[in-house]
Amino acid sequence: MNIIGIDVSKNKLDCALIDDSNQAKFKFKVISNSEEGFIALIDWLSKHIKSAVSEYHFVMEATGVYHERCADWLFNAGSKVSVVNPAHIKYYGQSLGVRSKNDKKDSVVIARYGLTQKPIAWKPETPEIRILKALASRLDAIEKDILREKNRYEKSCINPCSDSVLESIKMILAVLNEEKINLERLIDMHINQYESLQYNYALLQTIPGAGPVVSRYMLIVIGSRTFKSASQCAAYIGLVPIQNESGSSLRGRSRLSKAGNTVIRAKLYMAAISTLQHNPDIKIQNQRLLKNGKSKMSAYMFWCYKTPKTLSSSSRLIMT
């Protein structure tokens, strides 16, 4: 398998190909982050490697949305693609003693990571999950805009201002609230179009504390990744405890890893607060954790940590 490390940016891709005969040597190519650039990359590789496209293994970091078009195109072309957590690449580079940083050096570190660590193959999300993620992201943005406008309205009511300013804010709020309702309707319609999404959505809401919002986001998490275990799902969201102990001299309090999507973790946090107020069993469990020395946040998020384990280990859950 031929390893190609790709450092992704908005407009260009810095690619490093490891030399099979001498793995300390690399060949480099800079292409545009576009379909024309992807075609040019395959043409360039075919001149240096006498093997099929299926023998190429492209390794890249997850960089927002900028890597998605490249990863999707290379996957559809028949190549193996790995999309790696940027933190893993960063710490791997530090372990190699890499001090300086630029796009070319980063592509080398990524290629070496692919050669030595053998990251798992990436698969694109299914169309239904991709659409659901886009709708949920748009709804989240609208809700943030509504909160901002409400804060502006409150500030304008306290400070002397003209009536036209208040009317303008009211008009924007009316439009945003209407769009929020429309997006929620579109999300429900989209979920109802797919039997697996509809079934899982209803199943998720049978868990105490999991309402429509949490269930919607957990559908995206479980549907967009392949997890080997329930604990891996919890770790992906960033809910696993991180210990800070060494010998007898260091006895720090454990904390959450907080690695992963902050939006999903925030939704689960609000669900945990609701559960603590309305579920007596969870309330007793929370008190026990606090008594055993857990931090308040770790105790709060214990329910969240158990939630993805409950979801992904359920034999009734239909995985798409």
Give the pLDDT confidence of 136-191 residue by residue, as tens digits.
999 999 999 999 999 999 988 887 778 889 999 999 999 999 999 999 999 999 99
Whether the CB-CB separation of 138 and 183 falls below 8 Å is answered with yes
Q: What is the pLDDT of residue 192?
A: 94
Please give the Cα distance from 295 to 225 (Å, whole number): 30
Q: What percent of the chain has pLDDT over 90?
A: 46
Query: How many other CB atoms sit within 10 Å of the CB of residue 149?
Result: 20
Q: What is the pLDDT of residue 245?
A: 67
Please give the Cα distance from 148 to 314 (Å, whole number): 39
Q: What is the pLDDT of residue 315?
A: 40
Burial grade of 61 (CB within 10 A; 0-12, 13-18, 19 or more): buried
Q: What is the pLDDT of residue 297?
A: 66
> What are the structure tokens assigned to 151, written together?
């804060």
Low-confidence ranges of the chain (pLDDT < 50): 312-315, 320
> What are the structure tokens assigned to 143, written together?
């809700």
207: left (phi over 0), alpha (psi -120 to 50) or beta: beta
Please give the Cα distance from 190 to 197 (Å, whole number): 9
Q: What is the pLDDT of residue 261?
A: 79
Please give the Cα distance from 169 to 298 (Å, whole number): 39
Residues in CB range of 279: below 8 A, 6 or more apart: 208, 209
Helix (H, G, I), strand (E, B) or coil at 118: coil
Q: Say which amino acid occupies 297.
A: M
Q: What is the pLDDT of residue 194?
A: 93
Beta strands in 80-225 (DSSP E): 80-84
Whether the CB-CB separation of 33 and 9 falls below 8 Å is answered with yes
Query: How many other CB atoms sit within 10 Å of the CB of residue 210?
Result: 22
Residues in CB range of 161: below 8 A, 6 or more apart: none
Tell me how many degrees the CA angle 47-50-55 measures, rounded to the nearest 5. Answer: 110
The residue among 73, 68, 79, 82 whose CA lies nearest residue 5 is: 82
Whether the CB-CB separation of 27 and 58 falls below 8 Å is answered with no
Tell me how many degrees the CA angle 107-113-118 measures, rounded to the nearest 5. Answer: 130
The residue among 112, 107, 123 whose CA lies nearest residue 71 is: 123
> What are the structure tokens assigned to 205, written together?
């809401």
- Tell me how far the alpha carbon of residue 147 is from its chain's centroid: 24
> What are the structure tokens assigned to 235, written together?
């770790």
Q: What is the pLDDT of residue 317?
A: 56
